[in-house]
């Protein structure tokens, strides 16, 4: 583990201010080009491209970006990185998880911290379409968890790739538990409200398009006794919907922290010690990391914040430098 060079300005020294800054100070608009990928199960994933066309991308590089929980390709941290990569002449593509692109997906299933199979399909299609290109990856929060699980699944096969994981919830149970009390409870309540509203809206959407899927979701909602915490939502909705035996089983099987030794890609983990969603007990030790993985820990930075003194784009600059250089 190394100490990050990130330094927070005094007026953004609070972890909650760092975490919320991007939400209240949106990025400038960015031109994106949408591509729809049809999955093997008949559902779809929407991809949003930015920067030069892949054929004109510097070094024939394509950066694949994965957003966090309740995020999308329009999340500020995605847009800011795509803009910086475009300025460097590099093509990037943001993967919207199922139901996150502004249009609900066609099946009952959605996405979760271990949904590596969807990233598998996206990657396989990308390498078919662009066989001469080099692929690099950046994931945030839940997207970082998906990325690390996927890298661990494929092991040595991806040893030549570079990846960055930002604000990763390495131990899902500990992170979920941390959002049950204190100031962190605010985030848990926020996520549950968004997830529940989205779940109810998806049921209505599917009623005229896929009644079988709508019935599955409606039954889960009717059987739910309480959905006031993230643990309850994961236990009664996320887990049964995706084949897990409750929240504890989901958290145990999809936490990336125990699998970091299987990650063979050259990987940078960017974390903040004051992250209000990820307690220090959830962070991996040096012994947990593979030889090619580096954990860079800052004292401050919040959750996917990292707004530096005089440099709003510190995080994007750090990610781009790692991915595009020979560091």
CA dist 48 and 199 (Å) reads 23
Question: Using DSSP, how many helices (H) and how many strands (E) does the chain show?
Answer: 11, 9
Residues 6+ positions from 259 with CB-CB distance below 8 Å: 148, 149, 152
C-alpha to C-alpha distance for 140 and 114, rounded to whole angstroms? 13
120: Cα within 13 Å, side-chain hemisphere: 12
- The closest alpha carbon to 143, from 173, 111, 188, 186, belongs to 111
Catalytic, out of 67, 112, 205, 303: 303
Active-site residue flag, 235: no
Nearest to 302 by CA among 287, 314, 292, 290: 314
Residue 275 bears catalytic tag: yes
Q: CB count, 10 Å around CB of 127?
A: 13
Is 141 labeled as catalytic in the residue annotation?
yes
The answer to whether residues 166 and 304 touch, using CB atoms and an 8 Å cutoff, is yes
**Contact present, 134 and 158 (Cβ < 8 Å):** no
Neighbours of 257 (CB within 10 A): 18
Alpha carbon distance 224, 190 (integer Å): 19
**Which residue out of 48, 118, 274, 275 is catalytically annotated?**
275
Angle between helices 76-87 and 15-24 (to 10 degrees): 70
Non-local (6+) Cβ contacts of 181 within 8 A are none
Active-site option among 8, 91, 141, 176: 141
Burial 57-80 (b: 16+ CB within 10 A, else e): beeebbbbbbbbbebbbbbbbbbb
Residues with active-site annotation = 141, 275, 303
């Amino acid at each position: 583990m190394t100490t990050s060079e990130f330094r927070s300005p005094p007026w953004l020294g609070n972890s909650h201010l760092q975490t919320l800054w991007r939400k209240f100070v949106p990025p400038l608009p960015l031109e994106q080009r949408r591509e729809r990928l049809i999955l093997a199960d008949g559902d779809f994933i929407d991809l949003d491209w930015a920067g030069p066309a892949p054929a004109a991308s510097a070094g024939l590089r394509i950066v694949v970006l994965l957003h966090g929980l309740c995020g999308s390709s329009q999340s500020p941290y995605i847009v800011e990185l795509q803009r910086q990569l475009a300025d460097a002449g590099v093509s990037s593509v943001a993967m919207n998880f199922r139901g996150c692109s502004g249009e609900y997906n066609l099946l009952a299933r959605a996405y979760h911290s271990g949904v590596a199979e969807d990233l598998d399909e996206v990657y396989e299609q990308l390498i078919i379409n662009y066989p001469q290109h080099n692929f690099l990856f950046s994931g945030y929060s839940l997207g970082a968890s998906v990325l690390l699980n996927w890298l661990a699944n494929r092991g040595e096969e991806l040893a030549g790739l570079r990846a960055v994981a930002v604000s990763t919830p390495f131990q899902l149970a500990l992170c979920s538990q941390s959002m049950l009390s204190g100031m962190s409870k605010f985030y848990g309540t926020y996520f549950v409200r968004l997830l529940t509203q989205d779940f109810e809206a998806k049921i209505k959407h599917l009623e005229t398009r896929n009644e079988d899927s709508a019935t599955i979701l409606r039954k889960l909602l009717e059987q739910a006794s309480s959905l006031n915490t993230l643990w309850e939502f994961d236990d009664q909705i996320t887990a049964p919907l995706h084949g897990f035996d409750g929240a504890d089983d989901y958290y145990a099987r999809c936490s990336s922290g125990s699998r970091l030794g299987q990650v063979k890609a050259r990987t940078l983990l960017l974390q903040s010690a004051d992250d209000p969603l990820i307690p220090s007990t959830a962070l991996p030790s040096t012994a947990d990391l593979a030889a090619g993985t580096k954990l860079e820990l800052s004292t401050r930075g919040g959750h996917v914040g990292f707004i530096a003194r005089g440099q709003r784009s510190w995080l994007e600059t750090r990610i781009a430098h790692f991915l595009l250089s020979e560091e």
